[in-house]
Homo-oligomer: A and B are copies of this chain.
Amino acid sequence: MEPRVSLITLGVADLERSYRFYREGLGLPTTRRPAQGIVFFQTSGAVLALFPFEDLAEDVGAGWNVPRSKFTGITLAHNVRERSEVDQVLALAAAAGAQIVKPAGETSWGGYSGYFGDPDGYLWEVAWGAFDFNRDGSLKVT
């Protein structure tokens, strides 16, 4: 098994709303449109997919279309190269309608980060510090 996360799919309540948030608000690239039923964003490394919540639950199988709780147990992170970009990205997300769940601040691990919730409340940490970057922007962990 090659070590790889190919795709992260978020089950969303309103595909059009989430598309606008990620495409127009955050500027993630895609050639897809919500009318196609699923939207894929090409990001470096993993692809981010938006798919209606019910459809995603149904794809897993019968019995999975149950209400989510407030905290999924999963967070995504967008790490930035410069500390000032944390504030910029959080401001961009807020302008696109995200809820700032945790304002940017110093972290226990010596970095600087904050969290926003996307239109469905999926959590993204925007973080700077602690990691080295590979040339393509992915993190180098050792």
User: Contact mask A82-126 → B, CB, 8 Å, 1/0?
Assistant: 000100110010000000011000000000000100001011010
Residues of B within 8 Å of A101, CB to CB, are 60-61
Chain B residues whose C-beta falls within 8 Å of the C-beta of A67 in the assembled complex: 69
B45 touching A4, Cβ below 8 Å:
yes
* A137-B2 contact, Cβ under 8 Å, with A68-B69, A68-B71, A102-B60: yes
Knowing A4-B138, A66-B69 are in contact, say whether A75-B46 is a contact too (CB < 8 A).
no
B139 A79 Cβ-Cβ under 8 A: no
- The B-contacting residues of A in range 127-142, CB under 8 angstroms, are 127, 131, 137-142
B141 touches A61 (CB 8 A): no
Given contacts A46-B46, A78-B4, contact A11 B61 (CB under 8 A): no
Q: Is B75 in contact with A71, judged by CB distance below 8 angstroms?
A: no
Distance from A76 Cβ to chain B, minimum over Cβ atoms (Å):
6
Find chain B residues with CB under 8 A from A44 CB: 2-4, 45, 138
| Chain B residues in 8 Å Cβ range of A71 | 11, 57, 60, 64-66, 68
A sample of 7 inter-chain contacts (CB < 8 A) reads A3-B43, A4-B79, A7-B79, A31-B142, A56-B73, A61-B115, A72-B72
